[in-house]
Structure 1
Amino acid sequence: MDRQRNTQLEAVMAKYGFTHQSLAKEINRITAQIFGETHPRKCTDRHVRRWISGEVQWPWTRYLHALEQLFDRPAQALGFIPRGKHSANLPAPPRPPAPTKEAPVRRRRFITAPAAAAVALALNIDETPVSGRLSMTDVARARERIDRLDAHFSAIGGQPLLTVATAYLDRLSTAADHCTYGPRVEQALHTAIASLCSSAGWAADDAGNLDAAHLWRTTALQRAILGANHRAQARAWSDLAVHARRGGHHREALRISQTALTSREARQDPRYAALLQSRLAIGHARAGDRPAAARALLAAQTAHDRINPTEPAPRWLNFLTAAEISGLAAITHQAMGHLADAETVTAQALTLLDPGLRRSRAYYSVQLAELQLAQGNTAGARTTASAIDTTRVSSQSITGRLATVHRTLAAA
């Protein structure tokens, strides 16, 4: 069989910052976990070089299991070629050893609340090293955990995740202070911490702690600057605009949104442009500039139409669907006093919304009930409010607004 270089494995190694030696080390760690034993022949950088060169096109089963687990894709998607049709079906690995009693105790030093504990256990946040040498692989794992935390936020709200996010921030900050690493890892680590700070800001917002939300959002911007990551900076500026608006500082929110829109990301990435233009529209509406708000709304929709659905979005931007664009447009219409238009567009957002985005559904359902009340449609508001299910969403800001709706209805 002709030797063919494994460019797929080479590409995924480069993506996650693996060298030949660091990949071999990681494979040995994973095989020890899977097989629960110390194999006399360890994987070395020579094995990895032979895989990449194509000298070995189908490694030993134990190494293939480790590679599949590490990169979360089948061996053939990593460029390996089976020896025959039967070898392509890897035998199932042995069950991993049962967890020791120490692991849950060790994790409980971070989390005590039941909902938060379940998320923390699922994310394994205490497996991030806090001493020794930190690699791009370690940062990639941290990044993956932060992305999963963002997915939990969209599903259940941020209130139970605040403890998880702040605990993980403590751990990553400890890693930054006590581990050794090169400049590339340092920038990636600052960027990961910036993303986690942004997540913590939204979690604090949902918990009703606006002071903490502001702290985390300003810290996110600082870390994004240290990481020299313009996307993280654009995200932090956007979140600070939201915070200023909620504090009633509409001119400040407007200026921050305008600053964020000058970023390269806003010019080149339609997703960022759509989000920032939507928030700029709200800022103009709150500041009383209706023509500018209308122009920003049009720019947001135009940017959203330019999004290529085949290009993956950053995990934290997964919420930015056509439904979200409609929901943000409704907030702009409401701020301009166009309540009927705001109600129509909010209803449209709820129709378009993905079922898995339970927090967004609760948020915009409450918004719909508020708009109906504001127009004197008590019957419609009562029907909307009674159908809102917040049992699986933990957000003090949403439940507080819903409680206000119910009190208003009771007094009507």
Structure 2
Amino acid sequence: MDRQRNTVLEALLDEFDFTHQSLADKVNEVSEAIFGRPSNCSDRHVRRWISGEVRWPWTKYLLPLEQILDRPAQALGFVPRGKASATLPRPPRPAQQEEEPVHRRRFITASAATTVAAVLRIDQTPVTGRLSMSDVDRVRERIGRMDAHFFSIGGGPLISVSTGYIARLRDALDGCTYGDRVERALHGAISSLYASAGWACHDSGDPAQAALLHTASLQSALLAADPSATARAWSNLAMQARLEGRHREAVQITRAALDNRRARQDPHIAALLHARLAIGQARVADRTGAARSLLAAERVYDRIDTAAPAPTWLSFLNPAELSGLAAITHQALGQYDRAEAATVQALDLLPETMRRNRTYYSVQLAELQLAQGEREQAAATVYGIDASSLDSRRITDRLATVRRTLIA
């Protein structure tokens, strides 16, 4: 068979900014997480894969490559030697983890975190030398890709990835030289990472840790002198207060965030704050205030210039999300029929890529249907939910509660 260059793998190396040596190093690192020992991958192996000299690498290389590049082997441009080789074996489980399911879950989570960290290449951020805004742009791009991972499947491994990246950026702040603009931007990036880690903790059912991380996010946002980051931190702290039952405090915090002139002038941020204010007002039985805030959110959102990109962390805010937040407001006011209609609208408008949000609002729809005695509709809704790839304890616990209620 003629040798054929693996242009797919070559393009992926360029996309993920891997050199031959750095990919080989990652293969060895992930191999150790999978098999308990590193493989002996080198840059020569990578060159042979790309040149087509080796069209189907050994399993000890293929399994790590699948995790690092988040694609099955054949989607990496590799060609199996035959039908038997096309199906890769499952990664082996360390013997000591066979006895304890909790340990197995930790191993899986650690492997997922290793994969995300490897793909993002957070260890490539310099910790010595001179930092420029180009370095900051690369940091922001990696954070944006991490946020996209959250919107797709949930928070799970992002806790350790975010906190690990925070440590890396703090090392950069201590070990590098830079100007004032870069310093503020790094503090803004750290604030964003704290916010992402807080949401991941929230998703994983750890509200106490989430509160600490959201507070740290606010501190870094103030150091960055970044109104957008500050508004985000205040918004997350308001949500935290609401989840802990401190509804009046949540309303006060959100109003304080809206008092920031720059936050009010950014329609993306203002729309989110008004929508979350509506939920808080509904929780304290302020029907008039909630209705006004929902209307304000819609009017502000209509002012958004679609040609101007939203901040990365606000990429989830779309008409579907506004409908979903309106549904939560109506639910808090006891208006279950309106809440159900708004939730259906949210599901109709959601992009397919936002699997986490789709599962969240599907569970919410089933809850609303049960609250109105619509058991058959709720059962049909639950039947259509696929949470197999979701990494959100918060959502899966709610789904389990709905299923138990249906069985009872």
Q: Does 1:160 align with 2:83?
A: no
Counterpart contact for 2:169–2:190, Cα < 8 Å: yes
Distance in 2 (CA, whole Å) between partners of 1:220 and 1:98 is 35
Matched with 1:212 is 209
Partners of 1:96 and 1:214 lie apart in 2 by 39
1:293 shift after superposition: 0.5
Aligned residue number for residue 142 of structure 1: 139
Alignment of 1:4-403 (within 5 A): 97-99=20-22, 101-104=24-27, 113-403=110-400
- Please state how far the C-alpha of 1:214 moved relative to its aligned partner: 0.8
Q: Contact (CA 8 Å) 1:234, 1:265: kept in 2 or not? A: no
What's the CA shift for 1:315?
Answer: 1.2
Cα distance in 1 for residues equivalent to 2:19 and 2:173: 31
Q: 1:256: Cα distance to partner?
A: 0.5
Instruction: State the alpha-carbon separation in 2 of the partners of residues 356 and 162 from structure 1.
Output: 21
Normalized against structure 2, the TM-score is what? 0.75
CA positional deviation for 1:267: 2.0
CA distance in structure 1 between the partners assigned to 2:262 and 2:348 by the alignment: 30
What is the rounded CA distance, in whole Å, between the counterparts of 2:262 and 2:389 in structure 1?
Answer: 34
The amino acid across from 1:97 in the alignment is H
1:249 deviates by 0.6
> CA contact under 8 A between 2:127 and 2:176: conserved in structure 1?
yes
Q: CA deviation at 1:262?
A: 1.0
Q: Alpha-carbon deviations, 1:125-178, whole Å to 9, x = none?
A: 100112233222222211111111111111111112212111111111222222
Match of 2:129, SS state, is coil
DSSP 3-state at the match of 2:309: coil
Task: Give 2:393's aligned amino acid.
Answer: Q
* 1:363 positional shift: 0.4
Match of 2:5 in 1: none
Whether the 8 Å CA contact 1:265–1:272 is kept in 2: the answer is no
- Deviation of residue 97 (structure 1)? 3.0
* CA distance in structure 2 between the aligned counterparts of 1:161 and 1:100, rounded to whole angstroms: 22
CA RMSD, aligned part only? Answer: 2.1
Matched residue SS, 1:199: helix
Is the Cα–Cα contact under 8 Å of residues 155 and 357 in structure 1 kept in the other structure? yes
Q: Distance in 2 between matches of 1:172 and 1:279?
A: 31
SS at 1:159's partner residue? coil
One-letter amino acid matched to 1:359? R
CA gap 1:133/1:99 in 2 versus in 1, 3 angstroms: closer
Amino acid of the structure 2 residue aligned with 1:326: S
- 1:166 and 1:200 in contact (8 A); partners too: yes
Task: Extract unaligned runs of 5+ from structure 1.
Answer: 1-68, 73-94
- Measure, in 1, the Cα distance between the counterparts of 2:19 and 2:168: 26
Distance change (3 Å), C-alpha of 1:309 and 1:104: same
Consecutive unaligned residues of structure 2, counting only runs of 5 or more, are 1-13, 34-106
Instruction: State the Cα deviation string for residues 257-306 of structure 1 (Å, max 9, x = none).
Output: 10011112332111111100000000000011110000001101111111
For residue 115 of structure 1, report the CA deviation from its aligned partner. 2.2
Asked whether the equivalents of residues 26 and 118 of structure 2 are also in contact (C-alpha less than 8 Å), the reply is no
Which letter does structure 2 place at the counterpart of 1:161? L
The answer as to whether partners of 2:156 and 2:391 remain within 8 angstroms in 1 is: yes
Match of 1:76 in 2: none
Does structure 1 retain, via aligned residues, the 8 Å contact 2:184–2:223? yes
| Residue 6 of structure 2: aligned partner | none
What's the offset of the Cα at 1:251?
0.7
Q: Percentage identity across aligned positions?
A: 56
- AA aligned to 2:400 is A
Cα offset for 1:105?
5.1
- What SS does the corresponding residue of 2:327 show, helix, strand or coil? helix
Moved more, 306-315 or 273-282: 306-315
> Does the 8 Å contact 2:227/2:263 carry over to 1?
no
Amino acid at match of 1:193: I
Take 2:351 and 2:379, find their aligned partners in 1: how far apart are those partners? 24
Q: State the secondary structure of the residue aligned to 2:138.
A: helix
Cα 1:178–1:314, aligned 2, differ >3 Å: closer, same or farther? Answer: same
Shift in alpha-carbon separation, 1:366–1:257, aligned structure 2, 3 A: same
Q: Give the structure 2 partner of residue 57 of structure 1.
A: none
What is the alpha-carbon distance in structure 1 between the residues aligned to residue 275 and residue 202 of structure 2?
A: 19
Q: Distance in 1 between the 2:310 and 2:291 partners?
A: 26
Aligned partners of 2:136, 2:364: CA distance in 1, in Å? 38
The 1-side partners of 2:279 and 2:26 are apart by 47
Deviation at 1:100, TM superposition (A): 6.3
Amino acid at match of 1:394: D
